[in-house]
Amino acid sequence: MRLSTFEHEGEPWSGVLSDQGDGVHPFPVGTTLRHLVEQGGEALRETASRARETAAPLALADIRVLPPLEPPTIRDFMAFEQHLAGVARGFGDDVPAAWYVRPAFYFTNPYAVVGAYDDVPVPPGCGRFDFELEVAAVIGAPGRDLTPEQARDHILGYTILNDWTARDLQAFEMQVGLGPAKGKDGSTTLGPWLVTTDELDAHRDDEGRLDLGLRVDVNGVTVGRDSLANMAWTFEEMTSYASRGTEIRPGDVLGSGTCGNGCLAEFWGRRGRLDPPPLVPGDRVTMTVEGIGTISNTVVEGGEPVPVRRARSSGRPRLSPLT
């Protein structure tokens, strides 16, 4: 199934794409995709089947595609060695030895999710705006301390993720030893659909990896290509790691991390210059993933940063008495 959340005549709806892919059968009023995911796969399949039988499809031209769901959490991994090596070169570094030991991730802002075709503002104070082409898994069942084999049954489906990044803000704040924070806080595109795992099983290679073609264009010119099969870990392995010592829950999103040739910073690192140039208002970034679909966002002007004063320096910290 290809599942959608969308706006029609000013109201939010969820639904399932038609077999022809040119329309969406709406679910009953008030039925959200997030709620169905939380109820479980059987409820989702029954609702989708009933919608296809009873609800006339709405033409895609008559709807505004929204993010497939509002995720409670977004973990973004870093599973492509080529991407990491290229970006690291820009800082005179190599891939850290620790990266090869286990899949690293960070939590990003679930409130910053935007739709597949929405405008994306430049973050306040950003002068080096960048995109990041990723695929994300969506969790469909709760679990804890899962093995990779168990984790497969907990993945409901996949969607495209663009992890928009303010590279200059990111580089500055990570000098503190934390982050990324505001460098990644502005926008994250999810969409256009949530494609259930069974739709993509035919794309698995002999090792069980999803072999999906990935492409990103800027203003109609192809900038980068890769295959999802080049991930260092599978989504099942990353889901297993995410569940270690804690719980993953329905609706959680796990990003693959940027694919090879999937962002500008990787080219900057390899070439030693800002080529291609950072994104500016008016640029249109289009990402296509085989078997999932296409997202396309236009960069627009953002707001001015609200000033923040420098930290007070006290020389020596005061010690509070123990009571």
Per domain, the residue ranges of the chain are 2-65, 74-300
Inter-residue contact 107 to 138 (CB < 8 Å): no
Predicted pLDDT of residue 303: 96
3-state secondary structure of 39: helix
**Tokens representing residue 201 in the block:** 């099983």
Name residue 66's amino acid.
L
CB proximity list for 234: less than 8 A, separation 6 or greater = 148, 208, 209
CA–CA distance, 128 with 277 (Å, rounded to integer): 8
CA–CA distance, 205 with 160 (Å, rounded to integer): 20
Question: Regarding beta strands 64-66 and 58-59, do their DSSP bridges make them parallel or antiparallel, or are they unpaired?
Answer: unpaired
User: What's the predicted TM-score (pTM) here?
Assistant: 0.96
**HSE, side-chain direction, 13 A CA sphere, residue 29:** 1
Predicted pLDDT of residue 53: 96
Predicted pLDDT of residue 320: 66
DSSP letter for each residue of 167-204: HHHHHHHGGGT---STTS-S-EEEEEEEEEHHHHGGGB
Predicted pLDDT of residue 182: 94
* Burial status of residue 314 (CB atoms within 10 A of its CB: 0-12, 13-18, 19 or more): exposed
Q: Which positions of the chain have pLDDT values less than 70?
A: 317-323
Inter-residue contact 55 to 15 (CB < 8 Å): yes
Predicted pLDDT of residue 323: 52
Predicted pLDDT of residue 179: 81
- CATH fit for domain 74-300, picks 3.40.50.720, 3.90.850.10, 3.40.50.300, 2.60.40.1080: 3.90.850.10
Inter-residue contact 221 to 96 (CB < 8 Å): no
